[in-house]
Chain A
Amino acid sequence: MSGRTEGGLIERRPQKSASKQSHTPRGGRDIGFVFQDPSASLDPVMPIGKQIAEVARTHLGLTWSQSYARAKTLLERVRLPDPDSALRAFPHQLSGGQKQRVAIAAAIAAGPKLLIADEATSALDTIVQAEIVALIRRLVTEDGMTLLFISHDIALAAELAGRIAVFRHGQLVELGMTAQIVDAPAQPYTRALLDAHIGLDTKPLLNRAGLHA
């Protein structure tokens, strides 16, 4: 019964004059990662400003002060309140969603060509989530970033992805354009996933008769 994961993906159009020389893609520089549990990718004893600045410094060759300026801009872009004081905060001083936004800022700090986001917005409220979705969409359309967006939330994946690949037990069940997957899935498993989605208009599971308040 352990169904798993809708992966949505947006592809970058091939860029004509992208540098020809091939090199092995490097984590941080060419590929940014965001994982579900932001604590796992953040250093608990380093101020978060430094963690983000370090990515920019290492991969973009900026000075420390340029890197900190970039870190602050990134914290604004992921809508972290009070970015100045947040730069100096340690991860344990932030809420779950704030840490997740820091992890996203660090992942995009070096302007990666590919962003792999694994349940990257699951700890965010709907408002910040929508802002992050808009931010990621801009990175894709304006900066030509490619996105691999892994999520349990098919409604969210549908908002971001051009195509959706449905996996079960590590096997590809179905791959298609978002509209086709959501509107006319070919596989019963995809149908089951869509039916398990609890939206704002789904019939509630709770039968109210039960409570003796």
Chain B
Amino acid sequence: MSLLAVSNLTKRYRRGDNTIAAVDDVSFHIEPGETLALAGPSGSGKSTIARVVLRLIEPDDGRIEFEGDDFLALRSAALRARRARLQMVFQDPLAAFNPRATVARVLDDPLRIHGIASRSERPRRIAALLERVGLTADLAPRAIHEISGGQRQRVAIARAIATKPSLIVLDEAVSALDVSVRGEILELLLDLQRQEKIAYLFISHDLGVIRSIAHRVILLDAGRVAENGDARTVIDAPQSAIGKALVAAAPRLNRTLMRLASAGLD
């Protein structure tokens, strides 16, 4: 049984007099402990899929099975309980918090809301979570705005894993990080996946990163699946027109160097 099975998902938006199908009859599945990447042109429907899967918005059509349940049919308490198993990390995930909120506060919320640890247990849990993501417990009393972008992203991951999820949706979660921090965060995600068998739905424009960390990739174009397969196979030799165009346009250091060399020192 797949961890997540999405069938025939459709989501339309109205803009002025036009209706656009942001997501148009999309189906896919994710297995436990697997990373499925979503890539595709800007506006192809990646974030819309993420929001539907997280049930932040309702689809017009389609079915989502998560851990064996008809996920779109879950309501109130049952939905809340299941939500603990499905977490998210976005580009600046702590932006929604008051910047003066402390790291401890950000991590306390999910533990309290989902009844995971009693009040007296929580400080110890928070310290353990911080250590799990490579931070030290003395960060707990610091305010969100006082810590670096890389540390914030680690806190966001700690918050996401606090409820022991089986799936984390990451929408451009590493795009804003500088390269050395990004490498460390990717290593952390892979390590969590190995240790806790967490699956990821990983949305990114960076084909190099997808090729580096994803098992499979789906390429979307105008709301539809254009190509679907093993991440390295697809990115090394895309078959769809959109896949070929995306790969051909990716910046390449070697190519730039050759151009500079042949142009001479301008």
CB within 8 Å of B: which residues of A?
1-5, 36-37, 81-82, 85, 88-89, 93-98, 100-101, 119, 122-130, 152-156, 158-159, 162, 177-179, 182-183, 192-194, 196-200, 202, 204-206, 208, 210-213
Contacts and interface: CB of A to CB of B under 8 A. Distances in A.
Contacts of B31: 211, 213
A1 B18 contact: no
Given A126-B246, A206-B215, A196 B179 contact: yes
B253 interface: yes
B187 A205 contact: yes
Contacts of A155: 251-253, 256
B253 A197 contact: yes
A127 B249 contact: yes
B54 interface: no
B43 A81 contact: yes
Nearest to A81: B43
Most buried by B among A81, A97, A162, A177: A97
Interface of B: 13, 15-16, 18, 31-35, 39-44, 47, 92, 148-150, 172, 175-184, 186-187, 190, 193-194, 205-209, 211-215, 232, 235-236, 245-247, 249-254, 256-257, 260-261, 265-266
Given A36-B176, A81-B43, A198-B206, A179 B261 contact: yes
Contacts of A124: 42, 205
A126 B250 contact: yes
A156 B41 CA distance: 18
A98 B20 CA distance: 15
Contacts, number: 174
A151 to B, nearest CB: 10
Contacts of A128: 41-42
A122 B205 CA distance: 8
Nearest to A129: B249
Contacts of B247: 126, 200
Contact of B208 (A81, A127, A202): A202
Contacts of B150: 1-2
Given A127-B246, A182-B253, A200-B250, 19 more contacts: A37-B92, A96-B47, A97-B42, A119-B176, A126-B250, A152-B177, A155-B253, A179-B260, A179-B261, A182-B257, A192-B180, A198-B183, A199-B252, A199-B254, A200-B207, A200-B235, A206-B213, A206-B215, A212-B32
A52 B187 CA distance: 41
A211 B214 CA distance: 11
A89 B17 CA distance: 11
